[in-house]
Amino acid sequence: MPSVRSRAAPPRARRRAGEIIDAAASVFAERGYHGASTQDIADVLGIRQASLYYYFGSKEEALEQVCMLGVEGFVERATAIVHAPGTATDRIRALVAVHLAPLGDRRDYVRVFLRERGHLPDVARRRVGRLSRRLERLIEEVFTAGVASGELRADLDPRLATLAMLGMCNAVPAWLPVETGLSIEAVAQALATVLLDGARGRADARRTLRRPR
């Protein structure tokens, strides 16, 4: 099951097509979908605006491709984690890590997915929306299971915890390029800890943590 819509192969050159979508992603990320013109994309590539239409059929289609590449893999990876053995705590840490991982090499794609998917035409928006909701449900399941097993607070609202986690994680691409000095992995670690144990930390955890530091 190919993640990117397979078409009649040629005459669309695969290699160059990737550069074109890269450019689109970067421009959409920078200026927003409606704030970016196809001319802006062409400028990045050093080609004429009309030439873009050799690679995509419309600006909306370009947005759709970028968005799909922005979510692609998220659900698969989350599914694997949720179905793997381990405590809720382990799974949540892994989900956070995997959620932030693509910021390394796909930041623009992810940012565009997060902020611009709302401008997709109806059909595509719903397609993309289904993926998002599936992902949210997977995360929510982990919280629900954690509460049920007594591993997480009994009064935790799993829906709200999910949204808190997504809020924390999805904000990262907005400040990551600016706030320096931290690797993506370190950020994931720290955020997962806040999510699990809070700013005050668990009483037992604090005892362990205080000394070595």
Partner DNA sequence: CATGAATGAGCATTCATTCAT
Partner DNA sequence: GATGAATGAATGCTCATTCAT
Residues that bind DNA (CB under 7 A): 10-13, 16, 36-39, 47-55, 57-60
| Closer by beta carbon to DNA, 54 or else 98 | 54
Cα 183 from chain centroid (whole Å): 17
Does the footprint of a copy of itself cover residue 148 (CB under 8 A)?
Answer: no
Does the footprint of a copy of itself cover residue 157 (CB under 8 A)?
Answer: yes
Per-residue DSSP letter, 12? S
CA distance 30 to 160: 30
Query: From residue 20 to residue 59, what is the string marking binding to a copy of itself with x (rule CB under 8 A)?
Result: ----------x-xxxx---xx-xx--xxx-----------
Per-residue DSSP letter, 102? T
In three-state secondary structure terms, 57 is: coil
CA distance 110 to 211: 38
| Closer by beta carbon to DNA, 119 or else 137 | 119
Cis peptide before 11 (omega within 30 of 0): yes
Both tokens assigned to 198: 């809070």
Q: Which residues bind a copy of itself (CB under 8 A)?
A: 1-2, 5-8, 10, 30, 32-35, 39-40, 42-43, 46-48, 89, 92, 115, 118-119, 143, 146, 151-157, 159-161, 163-164, 166-172, 175, 179, 182, 187, 190-191, 193-206, 209-210, 213
